[in-house]
Amino acid sequence: MSAPVLTARAVTKNYRLGKREIPVLRGVDLSIADGERVALLGASGAGKSTLLHVLGLLDAPTSGAVEYDGRVVHDLSVKERALLRHRHTGFVFQFYHLIPELTALQNVLLAQMMGVSMFGYLGRRAALRAQAEELLGQVGLSDRLHHRPAELSGGERQRVAIARALIAQPRVILADEPTGNLDSATATGVVDLMFAVQQQRQLAFLLVTHDERLAQRCDRVVRMFDGKIVGEEAATGAGAAR
């Protein structure tokens, strides 16, 4: 296994509720290497999503460190973290989180516009559009480019979200319950797609899930309880067989 691309060292996260401090993460150590598929399993309230947000630099840890490729990144400026998030990390959420006013193609293009100036985008618009169309084709949505999220099924919306997460060629995919809002058949299709892309691109993949069977399809299963990692094991399912 290669060097870790994403590392959490003794990460804690507390939330303030009035005068009280509520600890959500209590010293978490986790690392993920290139091409590794890690499942984060735990009951509701274990701190899985919070850890995901801290690793994705959407939230800052109360203490501890987050490293990307060995470099400490959690204390960068807001702007630098946003740029890093754009280039290094792709998010896939349970509820897709697509912009309802934009079409499938525009939602993917939006991710490409993040680190580009107006004039820079206008100069490369055709190339970026072609790239987005190709990616949407890879996720099976060639004929849905100009449909808004309200006109897409749940599975199709999640595919758009996956394409959006991949368009900036990230090193890491952080997926928070990506099948939580899908029926089982659709969920299987989406998971198969995600794993295929992950395999193809050798992305580091952190999957937050309740689903034990889904977790066993990964390389490693990390179990969380009450803000701490309480167990870590190799997966026994398809992921272990890779």
Partner 1 sequence: MIAAFSPFLALRYLVTRRINLLGIGGVLFAVWATLVVDGVFTGFVYEIQNDVRRATPDLLVTDLPDQTSYDTLRAAIEADPDVLHSAPRLRHYAVLQPLRPPRGMISQGASEVDFNQMQGGFALLLGIDPLLEPQVTDVQAWLERGVSSLQSRTINGRAPVVFDEPDPKRRMYLKLPDEVEWRARGRAGLPREERVEDSRSEWPGVLLGWRRWHYTQLLREGDPLELLTAMYPPGSGGDVKISTRHTRLAFAGYFGTGYRLFDETSALLPIETLRSLLGHDISNPRSKAIVTDVAVRLRPDLPPAAWRACQQRLRDAVQALLPAGAAPCSVLDWQQQNTVFLTAVNHEHKMMQFVLFVVMLVAAFVIYATLHMMVVQKWKDVGILAAVGGNAADIGRVFLLCGLAVGTLGALLGTGLGLLTTTYLNDVNEWLYRETGLELFPRTLFDLPTIPCHLTPGWVATVAVGAVLLTLIVSYLPARRAARMNPVQALSYE
Q: Which is nearer to partner 1, 21 or 192 (CB)?
A: 21
Provide CB contacts within 8 A for 114, sequence distance 6+: 82, 86, 168
Element holding 154 (H helix, E strand): helix 154-166
Give the neighbor-by-neighbor strand order of the sheet with 172-176: 89-92, 172-176, 204-209, 37-42, 220-225, 228-234
Asked if 76 is part of the footprint of partner 1 (rule: CB under 8 A), the reply reads no
Asked if 225 is part of the footprint of partner 1 (rule: CB under 8 A), the reply reads no
Q: How far is CA 202 from the centre of its chain?
A: 14
Rule CB under 8 A: choose which of 33, 76, 110, 145 binds partner 1.
110
Q: Which is nearer to partner 1, 59 or 219 (CB)?
A: 59
Asked if 16 is part of the footprint of partner 1 (rule: CB under 8 A), the reply reads no
DSSP conformational letter for 236: -
The contact pattern for partner 1, residues 31-70, with x = CB under 8 A and - = no contact, is ------------------x---x--x-xx-----------
What is the C-alpha to C-alpha distance for residues 217 and 206, in angstroms, rounded to an integer?
A: 12
Binding site for partner 1 (CB under 8 A): 49, 53, 56, 58-59, 78-79, 82-83, 85-87, 91, 93, 95, 97-99, 101-102, 106, 109-111, 113-118, 120-122, 164-165, 168
